[in-house]
Amino acid sequence: MVLDITAAAALLDPLGREPAEACRGERLNALMALGPDASRALRRALSRLLCDATLARQAAQFLAPIAGVELLSPVNIGDYTDFYASIFHATNVGRLFRPDQPLMANYKWLPVAYHGRASSIVASGAPVRRPRGQIRPSGADAPGYAPSARLDYELELGAFIGSASVSGQAVPIDQAESHVFGVCLLNDWSARDIQAFEYQPLGPFLAKNFATTISPWVVTLEALAPFRAPAFERPPEDPPSLPHLSSARNTAAGGLGIELQAHLVSSEMRAQGLGPLRLSRSRFDQMYWTLAQMIAHHTSNGCPLRTGDLLGSGTVSGPERRQAGCLLEITAGGAEPVPTPNGGARTFLEDGDEVILTGRCSREGFVPIGLGECRGTIMPAV
Ligand code: MN
């Protein structure tokens, strides 16, 4: 069920004037800008509303079945930055593109990222059009302009910036999370053939900015408190992070114990009534860099983060093949196709394929939290 907060506002007591007014917006930006105290107050008020039998009966008129609503992007997104924070993903992908030097010299010193486009971010359920681009067949001298034949998904976590940071001021690592409103699921659709030709020397561009799908739910960091985890334990031979990217608190609890999964349903599987095929299963606490480190690094030159900015974590992969968060890794660059339940195989995504991302936190003694779904179906190229 979805609760219409605007309609139920009179029942949300005592929320306070500012958060109550912020909830009237069509998007969450006004609420996000108020910072963690406002979202905490709203969460308490909602919890009280739905736990109190009398109030919950009154609130029932403002609940709508989720199947009957159209899910939209919850935020007016400003800037979108996508990181590359899984060392397993970076190593696997690096090996395919540069066998002699999979990890670049900077990888263990700073969380690598690129600037994506907010204009092509869509909510779960929106169709994704196969992009065309410049593709150079192997052995050829010149590229052609053609539909991507190596279309991939990337299993990622997104983080929305709530209260803005100040231009010119680096956010100290232990204050970084106070700028995070919450997290969502994110699919960074990627055209590997376009990427292979265009990415040097400035990184990904048109291979990734044709579409990014997010789940329409934002789970606040407060709700994730029971699922905190230590930051990734680096091997002793790795360099320690520079002081502005490290703190005792970050080392002890900078991680988030979220299990992420990606499933595939092809049009044939759908027609035959077959269930989804699991492609990926990984954990966010295996990321080499934490959310706090990403924010501390992003602002370390004085670059301000604004309310509604979206940070992608980068593909969340683990050390084993079945924990890989994209087809490029799972199929070793297309060399080892994945069998599908109807006797077919996949190297990269085909038209009609639907990719479904899910996320879940669980811990004994606590109520598990799901992150909803992030779905997208591939449409043929124009
Ligand atoms: Mn990505």
pLDDT tens sequence across 247-273: 999 999 999 999 999 999 999 999 999
Q: What is the pLDDT of residue 25?
A: 85
Please give the DSSP secondary-structure letter assigned to residue 58: H
Four-point Cα dihedral 316, 275, 334, 282, nearest 10? 20
Please provide the average confidence, as pLDDT, over all residues in the chain: 95
* Residue 11 pLDDT grade (very low, low, confident, very high; cuts 50, 70, 90): confident
Q: Which of 279, 350, 349 is nearest to 321 (CA)?
A: 279
Ranked by mean pLDDT, the top range of 18-27, 99-108, 147-156 is: 147-156
Q: What are the Cα distances from residue 154, in Å, to 67, 165, 260, 286?
A: 26, 28, 11, 16
The CA 22 to ligand 1 mean position distance, Å, reads 32
Distance CA 303, CA 67 (A): 41
**Residues 113-118: what's their mean pLDDT?**
97
The pair of three-digit structure tokens given for residue 36, joined into one six-digit string: 């963690």
Report residue 20's pLDDT band, with 50, 70 and 90 as the boundaries.
Answer: confident
Read off the pTM: 0.96
pLDDT per position as a tens digit, 30-87 = 999 999 999 999 999 999 999 989 988 999 999 999 999 988 899 999 999 999 999 9
Kind plus residue range of the DSSP H or E element containing 2: strand 2-3
Q: Let me know: does 271 contact 305? Beta carbons within 8 Å.
A: no
CA 2/CA 379 separation, integer angstroms: 29
Q: Encoding tokens for residue 73? A: 């992007």
Rounded Cα gap, residues 317 and 333, in angstroms: 15
Say how far apart CA 66 and CA 239 lie, in whole Å: 48
The torsion of the CA quartet 42, 121, 286, 358, rounded to 10 degrees, works out to 70
Q: What percentage of residues in the chain have a pLDDT greater than 70?
A: 100
Is the Cα dihedral 123, 321, 257, 90 positive or negative?
negative
Fill in the amino acid letter for 21. E
CA angle 139, 141, 145 (to 5 degrees): 100
pLDDT band at 182 (very low <50, low <70, confident <90, very high): very high
Distance in Å, CA 235 to ligand 1 centroid: 24
Active-site residue, selected from the candidate residues 89, 179, 263, 297: 89
128-129/151-152 β-pairing: unpaired
Stretch 186-205: mean pLDDT, rounded? 95
- In whole angstroms, give the CA distance from residue 11 to residue 366: 27
138 CA to centre of ligand 1 in angstroms: 24
| 89 labelled catalytic | yes
Specify the pLDDT at position 102. 92
User: How many Å lie between the centroid of ligand 1 and the Cα of residue 304?
Assistant: 22
Give the pLDDT of residue 97: 82
The stretch 6-32 carries a mean pLDDT of 88
Q: Is the pLDDT of residue 275 over 80?
A: yes
Question: How many other C-beta atoms can be found within 10 angstroms of the C-beta atom of residue 129?
Answer: 16
Residue 14: predicted pLDDT: 76
Does residue 12 register a pLDDT over 90?
Answer: no
On the question of pLDDT at 13 being above 80, the answer is no
Residue 290: CA count within 13 A, CB half-sphere: 30
State in Å: Cα 47 to ligand 1 middle.
Answer: 34
Q: Please give the average per-residue pLDDT across 373-380, as a whole number.
A: 98
What is the spatial distance between Cα 311 and Cα 175, in angstroms, rounded to a whole number? 17
